[in-house]
Structure 1
Amino acid sequence: MILGVPWWVFMIILFIFLSGYMAFKAMRAERRLEQQYIEQEGKIYIDRIEKDRKQKQERKRLPQ
């Protein structure tokens, strides 16, 4: 007993804080993955727009 409290109570409190830390760490990692996915999809979208713009300019240049 420490300060009149059983040792296992301190262990439970420690595990609660550890669990909170691990949840926070997992949430940050998930957010980072989500941000990478968003950036990747945005790049694909921008590349497609640029490709369409170039094709449109090429069609303008060709005499019909």
Structure 2
Amino acid sequence: MTFPIWMYVVVAGIFFSAFMTVKTSKAERKAEMDYIEQEGQVYIQRMEKEKDLKMKN
């Protein structure tokens, strides 16, 4: 059984779209985790500064 060439192109496009969705999702998740970690470090530094100020007073 043979299929028209456009059907192969459509199926290839579906697989490519799925691949790019997974790849983009993984990259976004990593970027989000990096941002969260950076914000956490800022929060920890601020808490340490406040702790030092309380200790000095």
TM-score, normalization: structure 2? 0.93
Aligned-partner Cα distance in 1 for 2:2–2:46: 68
Bigger helix share: 2
Equivalences for residues 16-55 of structure 1 within 5 A = 16-55=14-53
Aligned length: 57
Is there any run of 5+ residues in structure 2 with no aligned partner, and where?
none
Residue 12 of structure 1: aligned partner: 10
Residue by residue over 1:36-63, the C-alpha shift from the partner in whole angstroms, topping out at 9 and shown as x without a partner, is 110010000000000000111111xxxx
Identify the structure with bigger relative contact order (alpha carbons < 8 Å, sequence gap 6+): 1
TM-score, normalization: structure 1? 0.84
TM-align CA RMSD:
0.8
Is there any run of 5+ residues in structure 1 with no aligned partner, and where?
60-64
Q: Deviation at 1:27?
A: 0.6
Structure with higher Rg: it is 1
Q: Deviation at 1:24?
A: 0.7
Residue 56 of structure 2: aligned partner: 58
Moved over 4 A (4+): none
